[in-house]
Amino acid sequence: MATIKLDQLAHAYRPNPQAPSDYALRPLNLEWRDGGAYALLGPSGCGKTTLLNIISGLVRPSEGRVLFDGRDVTDVPTEQRNIAQVFQFPVVYDTMTVYENLAFPLRNRGMSRSEVDGRVREIAAMLDMSAELNRRASRLTADAKQKISLGRGLVRNDVAAVLFDEPLTVIDPALKWQLRSQLKQLQARVGRTMIYVTHDQTEAMTFADTVVVMFEGEVVQIGTPAELFARPAHTFVGYFIGSPGMNVLPARVEGDRAQVGGSTIRLAQGYPRLPDGERIEIGIRPEDLRFAASGEGLPIRISRVDDIGRIKIARARFEDHDLNLVLPEGAQVATGAGVAVPVPDRVHVYAGGHLVEGE
């Protein structure tokens, strides 16, 4: 196990100092605590795989250093970094049995036969695969093969870290739920540093104690799932996390208020005073927008209502913008209706995409 530190790390696949926007990964400092469960979350192309490959040694960073427990491993090749990796697609030996596949990473490590046997059976039990140990891998479904890959990644207890790159992509959706929480329990039991790359917020939130959110080659927020939801540090985080994501409205500062078109939103006390006329963005979670009984509030017009089971989500026009709001259970709203929603207590203020501190 190890604490992994990234020191002034950056990467450009084709370095060009004149064009910093060519960075696949902008300069960052990050520490992954020993035994921590991390998710690296972000949309396609934001640099997640690049970062993971730098940690494993598959990619050498163009700037900065990688440290394992204080030791500089930037130039240490992958096979000497002692990292276990699980990829999107199964990596199993078809001609071997499940048992042999799980035992493979333990062979040649000076472990006794009974130690190997104990580890293999323990991991198989954790993954509900005890009954399949003697089956040949070629006879298994893609789901079961990927479970073997997960097992192979977790079976060694002498690794510095386990890295997962979108490991549940090929898994059937019904089984995904089960595997997700199994993985979380496994992490807690084996207590190893684990980094889980995904673009799926539910996967990230289920697995990780700490989520690292990336956007366009940059780490935009590091926090617990609850923190990311309650206090997005960047408009992108608010929009990306949540279903639907946070509403982001362009506004202008006027005293202690924000002006969105002809409507006024009073900002909570405690915000630093921003200069009048400054362009900002207001972030409001769809769950925080509630209908007013009194008819007082922001004037919105409902353009669509989607019934998604227990809740309904309404799309509405507000000034020149589209908004989402979660309707309370049993609410009856007609498309085209003009209604009012009170300004919620929880309104986030952003300047240039970044949260203005002071809440």
Whichever of 47 and 283 has its CB closer to ligand ATP, that residue is 47
Whichever of 126 and 220 has its CB closer to ligand ATP, that residue is 220
Report if residue 47 touches ligand ATP, rule: CB under 6 A: yes
* Helices vs. strands in the chain: H and E counts, helices first: 8, 20
């992994």: which residue's tokens? 4
CA triplet 195, 223, 197: central angle to 5 degrees? Answer: 25
Whichever of 44 and 80 has its CB closer to ligand ATP, that residue is 44
Residue 67 pairs in a beta bridge with 5, 72
Interface pick for ligand ATP out of 2, 32, 48, 207 (rule CB under 6 A): 48
Residue 142 near residue 169 (C-beta atoms within 8 A): no
119 conformational bin, left if phi > 0, alpha if psi -120 to 50, beta if neither? alpha
Whichever of 81 and 199 has its CB closer to ligand ATP, that residue is 199
Report if residue 44 touches ligand ATP, rule: CB under 6 A: yes
Give the shortest CB-197-to-ligand ATP separation in angstroms.
Answer: 7
Report if residue 201 touches ligand ATP, rule: CB under 6 A: no
Kind plus residue range of the DSSP H or E element containing 187: helix 173-190
Report if residue 45 touches ligand ATP, rule: CB under 6 A: yes
Whichever of 62 and 303 has its CB closer to ligand ATP, that residue is 62
Interface pick for ligand ATP out of 36, 50, 168, 283 (rule CB under 6 A): 50
> Taking CB under 6 A as the rule, which mask of x and - marks residues 180-199 in contact with ligand ATP?
-------------------x
Give the shortest CB-213-to-ligand ATP separation in angstroms.
Answer: 11
Q: Where are the beta strands (DSSP E) in the chain?
A: 4-11, 25-32, 37-41, 63-68, 71-72, 83-86, 161-165, 194-198, 210-215, 218-223, 247-254, 257-260, 263-266, 279-284, 298-307, 312-318, 321-327, 338-341, 348-351, 354-355
Residue 253 pairs in a beta bridge with 258
- Choose one: 43-51, 231-239, 258-266, 282-290; the region binding ligand ATP (CB under 6 A): 43-51
Residues 104-123 that bind ligand ATP (CB under 6 A): none
Residues 285-344 that bind ligand ATP (CB under 6 A): none
Whichever of 49 and 56 has its CB closer to ligand ATP, that residue is 49
Interface pick for ligand ATP out of 13, 72, 107, 181 (rule CB under 6 A): 13
> Taking CB under 6 A as the rule, which mask of x and - marks residues 19-38 in contact with ligand ATP?
-----x--------------
**Length of the chain as a residue count:** 359
Report if residue 55 touches ligand ATP, rule: CB under 6 A: no
Backbone angles phi, psi at 233, to 5 degrees: -80, -10
Could you give the maximum distance between any two Cα atoms of the chain, in Å?
75
Kind plus residue range of the DSSP H or E element containing 49: helix 48-56
Report if residue 49 touches ligand ATP, rule: CB under 6 A: yes
Give the shortest CB-105-to-ligand ATP separation in angstroms.
Answer: 25
For binding to ligand ATP (CB under 6 A), which residues are involved? Answer: 13, 24, 42, 44-50, 199
